[in-house]
């Protein structure tokens, strides 16, 4: 039996608690040895629930522990970069929630620290681990239905975030569309040009954060394909996650996942179940699988499936989209530092 990887979690809020429970209950390759949160009582309650032996308030207390091999970072976005630097300098492998940072200077500094330390670094783009999206990727990459021509991603949330969250998140393109930018690169390849338009149509409060809630983002890929990402912060019918790739000899698509597959028919028509409500439900298996693969890569010394370059590229596309939106023109990705 292969050894388990000793891992600690920094940040036990919404996403951190999901990852912590997954590590403790669903990833046997991991040995969860410590939790950290500035809200010590929150981390302690989670540790008590799961039987985690150590809880600290200051993450620096974990860095000198030679038994800890890897760290999962799920703290607020504005703390990611400097925590990555410190954890890398301590020689520990890193899984970090997206984005690496909202400032490219911070992103590059963090990635330089990772490279210098020679540690593994994975970014939390969980949608790559959805079995249906992976199958689309494999079909397109195989060439069995010809050359990719058009990518269409539909990604719509059931409800908008708070104004406070929008202000701190980087807005639509760096918070929500960033997942779709990564998916576009995963499915088709590198993007050369971005043209984004947007409006405030369904969540007027987001105007207070200089954000938008309804956008279309057009993409030109280096291989000649074109794409469109369709985003909304409010889909009244549920969490809408669809994808299609049209190729020269066919097409492949992924439809939404409902709560169940039951269809009831009566004199008023056919009725199916609601969509899964939000990302925690829709992508629950992906959160397990992305961390499981990270732990496996640490254990077996393999390359991680989603690395620092992927994390940086998604942020660059987010900046290109904001620049396009504000200047009302197509923006070449090469224009972004």
What global pTM score does this model have? 0.94
Burial class (CB in 10 A: 0-12, 13-18, 19+), 17: buried
Chain segment 59-96, per-residue pLDDT in tens? 999 999 999 999 999 999 999 999 999 999 999 999 99
Distance CA 289, CA 65 (A): 26
Q: Which position has the token pair 């390359």?
A: 303
Per-residue pLDDT tens for 230-286?
999 999 999 999 999 999 999 999 999 888 889 899 999 998 888 888 888 899 999
In the chain, where the domains are located: 5-119, 128-283+314-335
Is pLDDT at 52 greater than 70 in this prediction?
yes
- Per the document, the length of the chain is 337
How large a percentage of the chain has pLDDT more than 70? 100
Q: Identify the CATH class of 128-283+314-335.
A: alpha beta
Predicted confidence at residue 1, as pLDDT, reads 64
Task: For tokens 């030109």, name the residue.
Answer: 220
254 secondary structure, DSSP code: E
Question: Rounded CA gap, 244 and 254, in Å?
Answer: 6
Indicate the helix (H) or strand (E) that contains 41: helix 40-50
CATH superfamily of 5-119: NAD(P)-binding Rossmann-like Domain (3.40.50.720)
Alpha-carbon separation of residue 99 from 114, 145, 322 (angstroms): 15, 33, 16
Q: What is the mean pLDDT of the chain?
A: 96
């Amino acid at each position: 039996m292969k050894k388990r990887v000793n891992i600690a979690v920094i940040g036990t809020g919404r996403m951190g608690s999901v990852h912590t429970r997954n590590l403790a209950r669903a990833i046997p390759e991991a040995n969860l040895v410590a939790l950290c949160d500035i809200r010590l009582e929150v981390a302690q309650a989670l540790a008590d629930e799961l039987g985690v032996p150590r809880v600290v308030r200051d993450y620096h207390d974990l860095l000198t522990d030679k038994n800890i091999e890897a760290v999962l970072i799920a703290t607020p976005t504005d703390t990611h970069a400097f925590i990555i630097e410190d954890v890398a300098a301590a020689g520990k492998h890193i899984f970090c929630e997206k984005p690496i940072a909202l400032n490219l200077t911070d992103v590059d500094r963090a990635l330089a620290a990772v490279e210098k330390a020679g540690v593994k670094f994975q970014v939390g783009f969980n949608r790559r681990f959805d079995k249906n999206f992976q199958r689309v990727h494999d079909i397109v990459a195989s060439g069995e239905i010809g050359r990719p021509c058009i990518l269409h991603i539909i990604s719509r949330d059931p409800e908008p975030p708070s104004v406070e969250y929008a202000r701190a998140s980087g807005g639509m393109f760096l918070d929500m569309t960033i997942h779709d930018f990564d998916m576009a690169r995963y499915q088709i390849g590198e993007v050369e040009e971005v043209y984004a338009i947007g409006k405030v149509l369904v969540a007027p409060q987001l105007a207070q954060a200089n954000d938008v809630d309804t956008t279309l983002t057009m993409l030109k890929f280096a291989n000649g394909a074109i794409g469109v990402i369709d985003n909304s912060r409010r889909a009244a019918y549920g969490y809408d996650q669809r994808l299609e790739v049209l190729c020269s000899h066919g097409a492949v698509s992924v439809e939404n996942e409902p709560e169940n597959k039951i269809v009831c028919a009566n004199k008023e028509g056919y009725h199916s179940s609601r969509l899964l409500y939000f990302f925690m439900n829709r992508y629950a298996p992906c959160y397990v699988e992305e961390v499981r693969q990270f732990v496996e890569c640490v254990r077996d010394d393999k390359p991680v499936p989603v690395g620092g370059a992927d994390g940086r590229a998604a942020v660059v596309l987010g900046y290109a989209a904001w620049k396009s939106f504000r200047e009302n023109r197509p923006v070449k990705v090469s224009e972004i530092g």
